[in-house]
Every structure is written in C-alpha cells, then in structure tokens.
Structure 1
Amino acid sequence: MEGKLDLMVKLILSIVLGAFVGLLFHLCNGVFVKPKKLRLKLQNQGIKGPYPSFLYGNIHEMRRIQLQALSAANSTQKDQKAAIAHDWFPTLFPYLDKWRNEYGSVFLYSTGNIQLLCTTDMEMVKEIGLHKSLSLGKPSYLTKDRGPLLGEGILSSSGPIWAYQRKIIAPELFPDRVKGMVNLMVDAMTSLLKSWESRVEDEGGILEIIVDGDLRSLSADIISRVCFGSNFSKGEEIFSKLKALQMAMSKANVGIPGMRYLPSKANREIWKLEKEIDAMILNVVKQRIEEPIHDKDLLQVILDGAKTSEDYKGPSKKRFIVDNCKNMYFAGYETTATTASWTLMLLAAHPDWQARVRAEVLETCQRSLPDADMLRNMRKLTMVIQETLRLYPPATFVIRQALDDIDFKGIMIPKDMNIQIPIPTLQQSLELWGPDAHEFNPERFANGIVEACKVPQAYMPFGVGSRICAGQHFAMAELKVALSLLLSRFSFSLSPAYRHSPAFRLVIQPEHGICLHVKRV
C-alpha cells in the first residue's frame, strides 16, 4: 500500500514539476527568446533602434525622454495664453521623434515584450495600405492588454474572425444606409440646441462652456438611436462606464509580462468596470430579444450575425455580441465627439473660417433642417472637418501585426512583428504638406484629398487599407449634422480660460476641455 502511495506522490510531483518546467519554458520563450529572435531578424537587415532592457523593453527610456520634453515645454510655455500650437506629437511622443532622427524612418523599439517596427517611410506605408491579405491583422495585445475595452470585436480581431465581423457590420454603415440615418441624427440635436439657447439667454447673451461633455452626450445619443434603437437615457450609464474604463486603461503599462493579471488597484478597477459594462450590454440585448423592433439596426445585425454563424455558440456567442457592441459604443461615441470638440476650437480660433462655413450652411439649408443631400453640398464644412482630422486625428497610430512573414519594400517582416505608423507625423510632414503643415488651412482640401498633399496616402485619419474604419461615412455625416446645426444657431470664440493641451487617452483629447464663449447668431 505504501509503495502505491509513494508511486502516486512521485507521479503527482513529476506532473507538477513538468507543468512548472513547461510554464517556465513558455515564459522564457515569450519574454526573452521570441522577442530577441524577432529583433535579430530585422537587425540583420539593417534595421536599428534603442537597446531594450529585460521585461520593460524601452519603457523606462520612453518615460525619461517624455519627462525631459515636458520639462522643456513647461519652461518655454510659462504663459498659458500663448498661441495655439498644432504640432503636438513631438511633445506627447518625443521618444519616437528622437529615435526617428537617430535611426531613420524605419526603426525598432519595444514596450515590455511587445516588439514594434515604427515606420514613416511613405513607400512602405503605401505597400501596407495596398496589402489585402488576412496575413496582416491587428496586434494580439489589443485583445489581451486592451481586452476589457475592445475584446475580440471588429476593431481588434484578425483573420477569418475579423473578416466575418466586417462582412456583417460594414454594410450597415455604407453611404446608402447612413443617408437614411441623417434624420435621426438631426432629431438627436434638438435637446442640445434648446439647452444651449436657454443657457445663453440665462447668462445674458454669452455662455462660457466646456463643450466636450455636451458633445459626448450628443454623440452617445446619436449612436444609441441610430445603431441600438434607444435614446441616450437608456445607454447613459454604459457610456459613463466606458469613459471611466478608457481613462483607467490609458494609464496601464501595455506589454509588461504578467502586469494585467496582478490584482493592483488599477487592474481591480478595470476588471470591475469591464464586468459592469458587459452586464449592462447583455441587459440591452435581453430587452431587444424580448421586445424586437421593426427596423433592422446595427444591434440587430450583430445579434443576427451571432445567431447565423456556426463559429459562435454558447459563451463565444455572448462574447461576440458584447465585444462588438463595446466596439461600436466606443468608436461611435468617443472619437466623433472629440473631433467635433477640436473642430469648434479651431473655428473659434479662426473666425474668418467660422463665418465662411456658417454662410455656406445658411445658404444650403435655407432655414430648414439639413438632410443628406444638403450635407453633400457643404464643401467648406467638409474641408474644415478634413483639416481638423489632419491636425487632430482621433487615433494616433495605425498598428498592424504580421500573421505570416511579409515583404514590405524589400524588408522581410517576420511573423508576429508589430508594425506601427504614427499618423500625426505623416499628416503634419513639412515635406509632404508644405511649409504650413502645422497650421490650420482648410483650403488645402479645396480639390479633395488627392490634391491636398504630395502623397495622398499620408492622410489616414480613418486608417489605411482593408482595415480602414467601417464607420467613416457615419462619422462624417454625424459631424456635418452637429456642426451645421450648431453654427447656424451660435457663434463661438475662445474663452480666456482655454488651455491648449492635447493629451493621449487612447484617443487624442483636450486635457482641460474645450472652453468656449457661445452666443446666439
């Protein structure tokens, strides 16, 4: 009996030891061996970059360079009322600017064990944009480190999973479908217009307001009505929680092995918010199933897509629905509201353009509410929005992961390497856009994007290639509706309290808000 017991103990110990050795090997490979192999494959092709440290990669150096840049910026900007500078990228991401100058337009660096090939080489960027194969996808860290916010939805998935999601969701956001959504967007504006009119009157004709909050509420109402068949009051808590989750995740250390599993205060807050948001979305889904609506909207498309696919059953079906709803809520809410805020700031700072756009809106609408045909004729407003997206693109980077070995511009990108394109660097390149690249000049888009700069592919506020934002037509329609109605009723000027300070919160946001003076026209 004792012999059998000893044998069982030895068997258990050997299994535990084998599992431990296997885990140790897996960790060693993921943390040290694999990242080193990826870097060596590119270094052997002449690609250079800063040397990474163990576990943290270049994170410590990135922070040091950021602190130096922040200190330099503070010493040269003692007057908070200094002229607004749109060349913000070197201040927020000074390490990329430094390494680009040091190593060239294509270089390597790492955040934790995440290896990044950063490129501003336009020939390589064009090749990446033209690549249609599923062998180029989104980085796996988006579904892991950013999982609580993005999961494995259309914004973060790759391969056949993404292809299926794109197939069912994208057609709902095609121009012909968006055209039918304009009236709902206009209806959603009613409460905001009435609120501002009342508040302007109460304040004696001039209202000082930080517009960001109201524009977020508006964007949330529009995405709720158009895509989820409900008004903002039903989804208000979801949007509030998403905002809190976005802020919490913007502070997280992406790429440091094991950090997302530790029960730190930040992680506990992220896990709590994720659980609450998922439960709220499932409640919205439950209500839809119990009370189906006649018209098919985006939520119904997502539900039907989960129902008809053989790949989604049980928990994975629920995950498919929740992740794509979160993606739509986040993408349709945060990015559009932020762009609308930046646009009003720029028009407030340039009253000549504000007057030109207002005149166009009034002439086009002729005292009536805008419809889809009117929006198409608002050329000056379109130019202003395009210029805003050039100076303040919501997404800072285009990120792709090589799912197989891929050749771009004669460089063999090894499987699992992440490719990073810094959008603001290309969209404010003096070489591509001319000496006024850091200035607000909507006139550059007078003949469309193709004629706006030397290489049209350098303009990428909605991404590039087959992964270009599925909701770009929806976003442009929403921006035109909101801005045309606001400009037809109100005039805007910068408040003396406005502090220009773009900040990275997963998207580029005004750190202190957009504080404006608002008057009735």
Structure 2
Amino acid sequence: MEDEVDLKVKLILAVALGGSVVLLVWLYNVMVVKTHRLRLKLQNQGIRGPSPSFLLGNIPDMRRIQTQAQSLQKDDYSSIAHDWLSTLLPYFGKWRNEYGPVFMYSTGNIQILCITDVEMVKEMSLHTSLSLGKPSYLSKDRGPLLGKGILSSSGPLWAHQRKIIAPEFFPDRVKGMVNLMAEATTSLLRSWESRIEREGGVVADITVDEDLRSLSADIISKTSFGSSYSKGEEIFSKLQTLQKVMSKGIIGIPALRYLSLYIRQSQTLHSNILKFSVSYERYLPTKNNKEVRKLEKQIDTMILELGKQRMEGQHQEQDLLQLIVEGANSCSDHNGNSLNFSRDRFIIDNCKNIYFAGHETTAITASWSLMLLAAHPDWQAQARAEVLETCKGSLPNADSLKRMKMLTMVIQETLRLYPPAIFVIREALEDINIKGILVPKGMNIQIPIPVLHQSPELWGPDASKFNPERFVNGVLGACKAPQAYMPFGLGPRICAGQHFAMTELKVVLSLLLSRFSFSLSPEYHHSPAFRLVVQPEHGVCLQVRRV
C-alpha cells in the first residue's frame, strides 16, 4: 500500500515538474525568443531604442523618467500649460531625441515600433490592406468592455462590422439626429439655470465634466437606441461601472494598461505581481474579477434583451441598434464565408463599442472646450456672437451648424491640444513595408498623437498655445502636413463616428454658449491625467453665469 502511495506521489510530482518545465519553456519562448527576433529584424534595419529588461521591458525606464520629470514640475495649478506630454509621458520626448523619430521600446512581451516621422504617418494613412489591424490584446484584455467589436477586431470581421455601422454615422444620417441632440441638451440648460437660482441667481460653481458625461450618454442613448432609451441608459450606467472596476485590477496589462497603471498607481505595483503570468491573471477568482464577470453578464443579458425585441419586430426604428441586429444575421465576409462570430456576440460587442467610443471621448472634449473658452474670454465672446447671429434665438439645426465657422475652429484647436485618444495603435498581421522599413508580423505600431499635434516644425512656434485662428483655412492651412492632425485616428480605421461627434459638440457648445458665460473657478486645478483618454484629473470646475 505504501509503495502504491509513493508511486502516486511520484507521478503527481513528475506531472507537476513536467508542467512547470513546459510553462517555463513557453514563457522563455514568448518573453525572450519571440521578442528578441522581432527586435532584431528592426535593429538590422537601423531602428534603435532603449534596451529592455527581462519580463518588464522598458517599464522601469518609463517609471524612472516620469518620476524625474514630476520632481522638476512645479505644482502651480493656477497656470494653464498645454504641453502636458513633457510631464505626463516624458519618455517619448527623451527617446525621440536619443534614437530619432522612429524607435522601438517594450512593455513586457509587447514590442512597439513608435513612429513620429510625418512621412511614415502619411504612408500609414494610405495603407488600405487588412494586414494592418488592431492589437490582439485589446479583445483579450479589454474583452468585457470591447469584445471583438468594431474597435478591437481586425481583418474580414472588422470590415463587415465597419460596413454595417459606418453608414449610420454618414453626414446625411447625422443631420436627422440634430433635433434629438438639441432636445437632450435643453434638459441640461434647465438644470444649470435651476442651479444658479438655488445659489443666489447670479453665478454657480459647476463641475461641468460630470454633467457633460451624463449628457453624452443621454444623446448616444436616444440616437442609437431609439424608443429603448431607458434600457439603454441602464446599460450605459453598468458599462461605466464596469470600466471603473476594470481599472482597479491588472486585467491583462497590455501596453496602454502598463502606461496608465504606472502613471496612476505605480507605488502599488510590485515586480512580484508583474512577474506572474499576467495573461492569465484575469481568470483568477479575485473579488475584482468576480465583479467584472457579474457586470459583464448583466450587461450582456440586457443588450440581448434589446436585440431580441428588435428581432421579434416589437420596435422598427431604423436606428443603429436595428442595423446591428440586421448585420448580426448576415455575419460573413464579402465572399460569403462565415466569420465564426455568433449573432449574440456581434450584437453585444458592437453595442458596447458604441458606448465606449461615443460617450466618454465626446464628453471630455466638450469639457476641455469649455475650459479653454473660460480661460480665453475673447474667443468665448466671438464664438457666442457667432452662435447668436447664426441661430437667431432658435435651436441649432444642420444648416446653422454649417455656418458656425468660429465654433468649429475652437473645437478643432481643442482636439489638437487635447485629442480624445492619445495613440494610434496597429499590429502588423503580416510583414508590412512602410516607407522602406519592413515591419515584421506581430510588431505593434504606435503613433503618439500629441507629439505630432504639438510639433513646432508642423504647427509653428506657438504649437503649444491655444490659437483657433490657425484653423481659419481648415486643416490644410493650419499644418504643414495635414496627415499629422489625427484626433479621430487615420486611414481606413478612422473613427466611424467623427461626423456624429463633431455635430454633437457643435450642438452642445452652441446651446451652452447661447445661454451661459463661463470663467475659471478658483477651485479649478489644471492637471491633465492619462486615463486611457487625457482627462482633467480634478474635474473642470467653472463659474457659470446667465448671459
């Protein structure tokens, strides 16, 4: 009997040992061999970059450089400087100076080719092949939020989703949504007027970004979910909670998660945590992961309920939800081949993507716009005069929005200084030649948008200043290389909702300017922070007065 027990113990130990060896070999192959091969292919073409450490890549360097930059920064919240990249993400400037406009670096096992050369950006913008896609880690590590929707998918699946969703955001379709946008915004106007009344009838200090988030959710709900607005609002609320819960844990830690977490809470991240195989951390039964799965299940159920109602013909609105439901029933490529994507997942993932893309980013841009107008009363006065002259006391419509040139310039300049997304990110799904550089399959390509948006060589010596006048002749007249202006991305994967976003921003800002004037509150502390998007760390607190 003892011999039999000993044999079982030895077998278990042998299996455990064998599994450990296999795991170590796999880790070595992924973390060392594969990454070394990718880097070597670029090094042989003259591409350089900082030397990565084992497992963590250049993350320790990034943390050290940022700590040094922060130690030199003066905590002067009273001044408003827009060159936030030099303190928020200072390693890009340092590495660009050391290694040139094209360099590579590493975040763990993710190898990144960073491009700030405008000629390469131009060539990428013209690249229509499906061999340039979104990094695979997006659908894995951001699965509960993005799944394999239009934001995170690649290849034929992305092409099918783009074909279904993009037409809903064409200019002619967006024109029909202006009234809904204005209707939602008038509710906010009444709320702020009541707030001013309660605080004495003259002025009120309002943290506008929170209200603008709610407004943006209201607008995307009404325009995308039609009569199902109330249910859409509940879905958005739970998705917002899911986003916050996911930000607390280390769920996969791709390149952007590394950056965000190290900027926000690096003191809590110890190397012994990171050395764990982060690719599997999201499967552990932690409290945080359990909450993520619970929310994900609730959201999926609610979205499917809406989809089921549409499939059963309970509602026949020709809105985005209807198009997504119809597109889910024909999930195949242009040759008729199945994309192996279930109808349910198509509906769930793309509804989530619409929220993520169309809610937070637009609200943040509206917040930055009001802050900049509050800090520059001359531009605020000019924009308000244009709105009053154009609308003549009526609500804005598609025709009046076209005539708001001054307001358009203000929004364009806001998007230049505070772009909604901080990076354009792609993955080479095959070997790709970009301006003479052969980018190997598996390499991530990254364009740091603020580097190009604030380049004095492209925009002039006032590149870090707020000057909407530069857009008086459009983007072509504002920048030496218009491809360097990319607030909505670039190339075939440029944001499908850019017309929707610009229209929403014009409607919201024109109505707010027609009713209120804005100045910076003494409580406002200008401190841009990186939270996947660049947002005001302490909120945008403004003094709001009736016009």
| Distance in 2, Cα, partners of 1:157 & 1:327 | 11
SS in 2 for 1:154: coil
The alignment of Structure 1 onto Structure 2 pairs a total of residues equal to: 510
| Distance in 2, Cα, partners of 1:109 & 1:430 | 25
CA gap 1:295/1:323 in 2 versus in 1, 3 angstroms: same
Which residue is equivalent to 1:188? 184
**Offset at 1:242?**
2.5
**Offset at 1:141?**
1.0
Does structure 2 retain, via aligned residues, the 8 Å contact 1:150–1:156? Answer: yes
Which residue is equivalent to 1:212? 209
Asked whether 1:130 is paired with 2:152, we answer no
**Cα deviations across residues 163-208 of structure 1 (Å, max 9, x unaligned)?**
0000111011100110111111111112111111111122121011
| Distance in 1, Cα, partners of 2:351 & 2:26 | 34
| Distance in 2, Cα, partners of 1:455 & 1:313 | 38
Asked whether 1:36 is paired with 2:59, we answer no
Does structure 1 retain, via aligned residues, the 8 Å contact 2:235–2:303? Answer: yes
The structure 2 residue matched to 1:506, chosen from 513, 532, 538, is 532
Does structure 2 retain, via aligned residues, the 8 Å contact 1:113–1:257? Answer: no
Asked whether 1:227 is paired with 2:229, we answer no
Q: Which amino acid aligns with 1:195?
A: S
Q: Which amino acid aligns with 2:302?
A: M
Give the alignment's Cα RMSD to 1 decimal.
2.5
**Cα deviations across residues 87-126 of structure 1 (Å, max 9, x unaligned)?**
1112111122221111111111111111100010111111
**Offset at 1:50?**
1.3
CA gap 1:414/1:507 in 2 versus in 1, 3 angstroms: same
Does structure 1 retain, via aligned residues, the 8 Å contact 2:311–2:325? Answer: no
SS in 2 for 1:401: strand
Which residue is equivalent to 1:334? 360
Which residue is equivalent to 1:4? none
Which residue is equivalent to 2:4? none
Which residue is equivalent to 1:298? 320
Q: Which amino acid aligns with 1:116?
A: I
Which residue is equivalent to 2:58? 58
CA gap 1:371/1:102 in 2 versus in 1, 3 angstroms: same
Q: TM-score, normalised by structure 2?
A: 0.88
| Distance in 1, Cα, partners of 2:285 & 2:254 | 15
Q: Give 1:386-401 correspondences, 5 Å limit.
A: 386-401=412-427
| Distance in 2, Cα, partners of 1:438 & 1:71 | 22
Does structure 2 retain, via aligned residues, the 8 Å contact 1:212–1:513? Answer: yes
Q: Give 1:168-187 correspondences, 5 Å limit.
A: 168-187=164-183
The structure 2 residue matched to 1:161, chosen from 154, 157, 162, is 157
| Distance in 1, Cα, partners of 2:92 & 2:183 | 44
Which residue is equivalent to 2:90? 94
The structure 1 residue matched to 2:485, chosen from 442, 445, 459, is 459
Asked whether 1:349 is paired with 2:371, we answer no
The structure 2 residue matched to 1:239, chosen from 232, 236, 240, is 236
Q: Give 1:510-521 correspondences, 5 Å limit.
A: 510-521=536-547
The structure 2 residue matched to 1:422, chosen from 448, 461, 465, is 448
The structure 1 residue matched to 2:499, chosen from 473, 488, 493, is 473
**Offset at 1:275?**
3.0
Q: TM-score, normalised by structure 1?
A: 0.92
**Cα deviations across residues 32-89 of structure 1 (Å, max 9, x unaligned)?**
211111011001111111111222111222222222222222xx22x432x1001111
Which residue is equivalent to 2:69? 69
**Cα deviations across residues 302-347 of structure 1 (Å, max 9, x unaligned)?**
1100012257799722111111000001111111011000000000
Which residue is equivalent to 2:101? 105
Does structure 2 retain, via aligned residues, the 8 Å contact 1:119–1:420? Answer: yes
Unaligned runs of at least 5 residues, structure 1:
1-9
Q: Which amino acid aligns with 2:41?
A: K
| Distance in 2, Cα, partners of 1:14 & 1:299 | 54
Which residue is equivalent to 1:118? 114
SS in 1 for 2:367: helix
| Distance in 2, Cα, partners of 1:366 & 1:24 | 71
Q: Which amino acid aligns with 1:216?
A: R
**Offset at 1:254?**
2.2
**Offset at 1:265?**
4.9
**Offset at 1:22?**
6.0
Unaligned runs of at least 5 residues, structure 2:
1-9, 256-277
Which residue is equivalent to 1:260? 282
**Cα deviations across residues 232-256 of structure 1 (Å, max 9, x unaligned)?**
6433333233333334444643265
Does structure 1 retain, via aligned residues, the 8 Å contact 2:221–2:233? Answer: no
Q: Which amino acid aligns with 1:187?
A: E
Does structure 2 retain, via aligned residues, the 8 Å contact 1:220–1:232? Answer: no
Q: Which amino acid aligns with 1:328?
A: I
Percent sequence identity over aligned pairs:
70
